[in-house]
């Protein structure tokens, strides 16, 4: 398996956090490309198509990680581990920073270490400036524990590659991911599951009609037939990307030649800011259910921080990885609803 530019061959891939939202899709892309793929998570779920290994990555020492990677003869290891929703600051520190340090120690001790692809986050940048896209060479000013701990992981990868020339590593700084399997703890995952719970025979089916500004499309509906969502104002603009497009970007980073990507940060997003409230209303409309959105207050965000504007400059991803997002928001939202 090689990249579209005839880059590095990947015969074996290990996905840490392979049972999670991002990890499942990343593992699937590698398997579809013909790579022998191992999914690693605390409670691994193997199947006829998924090879899996159970390992508590929050405590696994570098030596155990090295044994696993050597046994798999891994060409690439993807760190898709991350904690944000419902996690304490200490838990985020363990998953987002300390694990990366242990992984770095593991790789530096190996004679032929696999390429590391670290999944970073748009929240490492912190608040953006309205009308301006965030580029990789811009200052990172995270304003949340999640953003700060993910940034520590990024620094670990870049420092390791700089100080150890035999280690290859790249950080993909990922926007807010949408699509099938979004966790219940996320904003859109929680709404999709709430809509799925409301999609029962006793609730009348409704045509798919996009709601007007500031409404949930429920005018004139009886109270008993309406799904009620209590949400904050969601007056923030964020960059959203389909989780399957993220997986495609990981594959591109795995197969690109080392001089192109090693030691780099590469933004992975849609490159377009979207008002979160409008995306929520579109999800509701696509569900076909009668829904009333009740305000929970005059302020609120989309999870992961209070930044009012975040938009990624994704030109470097196109240049280095020959990658661009392929899926439109409606495709992501429909897949999210279908999975829920």
What does the pLDDT read at residue 214?
Answer: 40
Our answer to whether residue 146 is catalytic in this structure is yes
Place of tokens 């399997």: 181
Stated as kind and residue range, the H or E segment containing 205 is none
Please list, in sequence order, all residues whose beta carbon lies within 8 angstroms of the beta carbon of residue 141, skipping any fewer than 6 positions away.
125, 126, 127
CA gap 70, 63 in Å, rounded: 10
pLDDT of res. 196: 87
d(Cα 340, Cα 191) in Å, to the nearest integer? 10
pLDDT at 307: 66
What is the predicted pLDDT for the residue at 132? 94
User: How far is it, in rounded angstroms, from Cα 6 to Cα 22?
Assistant: 26
Q: Which pLDDT belongs to residue 293?
A: 84
Closest to 76 (Cα-Cα) out of 120, 12, 163: 12
CA distance readout (Å), 65 to 60, 77, 100, 156: 7, 10, 11, 17
Tens-level pLDDT at each residue, the chain (340 residues)? 544 344 678 999 999 999 999 999 999 999 999 999 999 998 877 777 889 999 999 889 999 999 999 999 999 999 999 998 888 999 999 999 999 999 999 999 999 999 999 999 999 999 999 999 999 999 999 999 999 999 999 999 999 999 999 999 999 999 999 999 999 989 999 999 999 887 654 333 343 333 333 444 444 334 445 788 888 778 899 999 999 999 999 999 999 999 999 999 999 999 999 999 999 999 999 999 998 888 775 444 444 445 689 999 999 999 999 999 999 999 999 999 999 8
What gap in Å lies between CA 254 and CA 42, rounded to an integer? Answer: 24
For 18: left if phi > 0, alpha if psi spans -120 to 50, otherwise beta; the answer is alpha
Structure tokens at 87: 């996690």
Residues 6+ apart with CB under 8 A from 96: 81, 82, 83, 146, 149, 150, 152, 153
pTM: 0.88
Residue 227 pLDDT:
83
Catalytic member of 146, 188, 240, 323: 146
Cα separation, 311 vs 44, in Å, equals 35
Q: What is the pLDDT at residue 208?
A: 35
For residue 285, the number of C-alpha atoms closer than 13 Å in the C-beta half-sphere is 17
| pLDDT at residue 220, as a whole number | 39
First to last CA, the chain: 33
Query: Residue 92 in contact with residue 25, Cβ under 8 Å?
Result: no
């Amino acid at each position: 398996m090689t990249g579209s530019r005839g880059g590095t061959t990947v015969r074996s891939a290990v996905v840490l956090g392979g049972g999670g939202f991002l990890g499942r899709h990343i593992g699937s892309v590698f398997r579809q490309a013909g790579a022998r793929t191992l999914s690693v998570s605390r409670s691994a779920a193997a199947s006829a198509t998924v090879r899996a290994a159970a390992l508590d990555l929050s405590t696994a020492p570098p030596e155990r990680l090295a044994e696993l990677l050597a046994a798999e003869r891994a060409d690439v290891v993807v760190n898709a581990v991350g904690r944000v929703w419902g996690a304490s600051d200490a838990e985020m520190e363990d998953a987002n920073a300390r694990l990366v340090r242990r992984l770095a120690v593991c790789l530096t001790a190996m004679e032929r270490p696999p390429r590391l692809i670290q999944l970073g986050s748009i929240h490492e940048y912190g608040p953006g400036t309205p009308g301006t896209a965030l580029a990789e060479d811009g200052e990172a000013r995270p304003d949340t524990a999640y953003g700060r701990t993910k940034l520590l992981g990024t620094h670990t990868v870049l420092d390791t590659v700089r100080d150890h020339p035999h280690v290859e590593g790249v950080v993909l700084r990922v926007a807010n991911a949408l699509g099938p399997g979004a966790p219940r703890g996320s904003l859109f995952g929680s709404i999709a599951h709430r809509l799925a719970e409301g999609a029962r025979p006793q609730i009348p089916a409704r045509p798919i009609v996009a709601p007007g500004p500031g409404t949930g499309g429920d005018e004139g509906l009886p109270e008993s037939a309406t799904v009620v969502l209590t949400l904050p104002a969601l007056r923030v603009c964020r960059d959203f990307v389909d989780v399957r497009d993220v997986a495609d970007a990981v594959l591109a980073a795995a197969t690109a030649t080392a001089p192109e990507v090693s030691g780099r940060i590469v933004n992975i997003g849609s490159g377009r800011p979207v008002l979160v409230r409008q995306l929520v209303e579109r999800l509701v409309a696509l569900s076909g259910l009668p829904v009333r959105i009740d305000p929970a207050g005059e302020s609120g965000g989309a999870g992961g921080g209070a930044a009012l504007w975040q938009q990624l400059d994704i030109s470097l991803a196109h240049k280095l990885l020959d990658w661009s997002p392929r899926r439109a928001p409606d495709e992501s939202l429909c897949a999210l609803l279908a999975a829920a």
